């Protein structure tokens, strides 16, 4: 493995589940990120993006940058990109031109929509978590809500978020990959 200082490209993501999803997708697409000297870096939350961008810019001006964030964190990413001198008055389209993509509403939502609730429930069943999900669905605050919303919250509140990022990406039809995931990998 190479050091981050030696990376020719860096994809900045909020958390480890995003990192796992992109690494899994890259492998499925036949890409060897290590050989390409591309690092996917989980920055520990959107609030860290500004500091991380500054650190990378100080180390190497030639590093290609890209990123992935949730819709709720788009403002933090936009502001950090602007403060790093990568643009001004950025909108989502311009962020994408820079290689920074936004998941609507988040990674889990993108994957659930791409696969469909029935397929996601089958993945839960194969991994022994469907009964836990059924119990979750019975909670008063979640009862009667759309299954997709329940699944998203279930993944967001369970310790299996990282595990399911990999499993959901492995189950994707490669012709139906969520646009932000394919976009960020294609950019870098």
Identify whether the C-beta of residue 82 lies closer than 8 Å to the C-beta of residue 45. Answer: no
pLDDT, residue 4, reads 67
Whole-model pTM: value is: 0.93
* Mean pLDDT (the chain, rounded): 93
Give the Cα-Cα-Cα angle 92, 97, 100 (nearest 5 degrees).
60
Half-sphere exposure of 47 (CA within 13 A, CB side): 0
Domains (range + CATH), the chain? 4-106+172-187 (3.40.1360), 109-171 (no CATH)
List the one residue out of 84, 74, 16 whose CA is nearest residue 50. 84
pLDDT in tens, 137-149: 999 999 999 999 9
Report which secondary-structure segment, H or E, holds 13: strand 9-13
Confidence of residue 58 (pLDDT cuts 50, 70, 90): confident
The better pLDDT of the pair 58, 52 is held by 52
Confidence of residue 56 (pLDDT cuts 50, 70, 90): confident
| Residues near 90 by beta carbon (within 8 Å), at least 6 away in sequence | 78, 81, 82, 98
Calpha distance 142→111 (Å, rounded): 20
pLDDT in tens, 18-52: 999 999 999 999 999 999 999 999 999 888 999 99
Q: Is 159 exposed, middle or buried (0-12, 13-18, 19+ CB in 10 A)?
A: exposed
Give the Cα-Cα-Cα angle 93, 176, 21 (nearest 5 degrees).
80
Identify whether the C-beta of residue 103 lies closer than 8 Å to the C-beta of residue 69. Answer: yes
Mean pLDDT of the region 88-104? 96
Calpha distance 131→150 (Å, rounded): 14
Helix (H, G, I), strand (E, B) or coil at 68: strand
pLDDT in tens, 119-162: 999 999 999 999 999 999 999 999 999 999 999 999 987 668 99
């Amino acid at each position: 493995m190479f050091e981050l200082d030696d990376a020719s490209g860096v994809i900045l993501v909020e958390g480890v589940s995003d990192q796992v999803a992109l690494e899994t997708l890259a492998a499925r697409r036949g890409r060897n990120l290590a050989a390409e000297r591309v690092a996917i870096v989980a920055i520990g939350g959107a609030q860290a993006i500004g500091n991380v961008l500054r650190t990378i810019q100080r180390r190497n001006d030639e590093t290609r940058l890209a990123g992935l964030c949730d819709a709720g964190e788009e403002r933090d990413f936009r502001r950090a990109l602007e403060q790093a001198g990568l643009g001004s008055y950025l909108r989502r389209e311009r962020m994408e031109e820079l290689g920074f993509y936004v998941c609507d509403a988040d990674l889990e939502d993108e994957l659930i929509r791409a696969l469909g609730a029935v397929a996601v429930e089958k993945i839960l069943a194969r991994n022994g978590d469907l009964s836990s999900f059924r119990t979750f669905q019975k909670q008063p605050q979640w009862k009667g809500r759309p299954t997709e919303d329940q699944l998203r919250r279930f993944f967001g509140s369970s310790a299996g978020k990282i595990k399911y990022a990999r499993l959901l990406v492995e189950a994707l039809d490669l012709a139906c990959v969520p646009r932000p995931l394919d976009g960020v990998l294609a950019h870098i």
